Chain A
Amino acid sequence: MIEFLKQPWPWYVAGPLIGLTVPALLIIGNKSFGISSSLRHVCASCMPANIPFFKYDWKKEVWNLFFVFGIFLGGAIAINLLSNPNPVEVNSKLATELAGYGITNFNNLVPEDIMNWQSLFTLKGFLMMIVGGFLVGFGTRYAGGCTSGHAIMGLSNLQWPSLIATISFMVGGFIMANLILPFILSL
């Protein structure tokens, strides 16, 4: 059983489990599944700076912070107790492309060759980690949600604005991955 759990889980196991988070959160406390709002609650609790967008009672949303702290712990448990000993399997075309950028270490889920403390202070690392993170935080809030809030929760509730948001996420991702990221990776 443990051996089975240590293998990477197939999509048809993981997808339905992720989908079940929606009714789980609704049933245990009337909470709509969403993760990016946790970033807003951090702003509201740590540095509201008199900005109306951050002036609300964040303590009512503290469940969301417990939830994301759980995701962090879950990551730690999965890697320490259920770790897959083999390198991450990568599509051979992608592996060839990435090798061209000097990315050959597939031992972790995060590409260590480009995302590490040393590279943080290079132009490439700055763009990948700091600018990338900024776009994630700015974009999700501007869109009113991320993959969980719009693509999963919103679509589950048949909300058409969420469909528009999800399509925009994908279009942005396709443009970046295929047209812009190659330039960043070759820096």
Chain B
Amino acid sequence: MQQNTDTEKDLRLRELDAMCVNESHLQHKWYHNLKYLVVGVLFGIVFVKAEVVSWFRIQEMFRLQSFHMYGIIGSAVVVGMISVFLIKKFNIKTIYGEPIKISPKTFNKGQIYGGLIFGFGWAITGACPGPLFAQIGTGATVIGITLLSAIAGTWVYGYLREKLPH
């Protein structure tokens, strides 16, 4: 019983921001995580080869000087939408036979305030969190400091969370 309450509390905490919910209830050995490493590697290669991680591309995007980033994000969303639609329509299961579940996002004002703050940071660093990892991989070691600073920003958010308007 105690175990159950703990799990429930844990889920609620993770649900505070929808991105943190792991829907799978299966337990696996650690090496099952290598699948995600492989997807990450492929994803990182695309990021670098399509210059999504380029500071210059982000500057072009925010100055409306190039269609490139709009094309990438737009076509990624279209492909993602079609995929999610097909997964729901045909009840596609995971490779372990679990039904696929996607948690909905609930609105709070943080999406506006936080969104604007992230937008400021995105235009300065020319990177959202994913590209930070890829940029370090390309040898720009100093971006490791930017990443540490982003982790610090996340920590400070957690620290101040109760006092911020949501």
Contact = CB atoms under 8 A, between A and B. Distances in A.
Nearest to A112: B140
Interface in A20-46: 20-40, 42-43
A85 interface: no
B89 interface: no
A181 interface: yes
A22 B156 CA distance: 29
Interface string A134-161: 1111111111111111111111111111
A11 B49 contact: no
Given A139-B114, A168-B116, A159 B104 contact: yes
A133 B125 CA distance: 7
A156 B129 contact: no
Interface in B116-157: 116-130, 132-143, 145-157
Contacts of B101: 30
A15 B40 CA distance: 15
A88 to B, nearest CB: 6
Nearest to B51: A8
A43 to B, nearest CB: 5
Interface string A77-92: 1110010100010110
B121 A132 contact: yes
B154 A141 contact: yes
Q: Which of A20, A115, A142, A184 has the most CB of B within 10 A?
A: A142
Contacts of B126: 110-111
Interface residues of B, number: 128
A99 interface: no
Contact of A21 (B43, B124, B140): B43
B31 to A, nearest CB: 10
Interface in B62-116: 62-63, 65-69, 71-81, 83-84, 86-87, 92, 94-96, 98, 100-108, 110-116
B87 A26 contact: yes
A28 B33 CA distance: 10
Given A56-B13, A110-B143, A22 B40 contact: no
A123 interface: no
Contact of B124 (A20, A29, A37, A127): A127
Interface of A: 5, 8-40, 42-43, 47, 49, 51-57, 60-64, 66-79, 82, 84, 88, 90-91, 93-94, 98, 106, 108-111, 115-117, 120, 127-162, 164-178, 180-181, 184
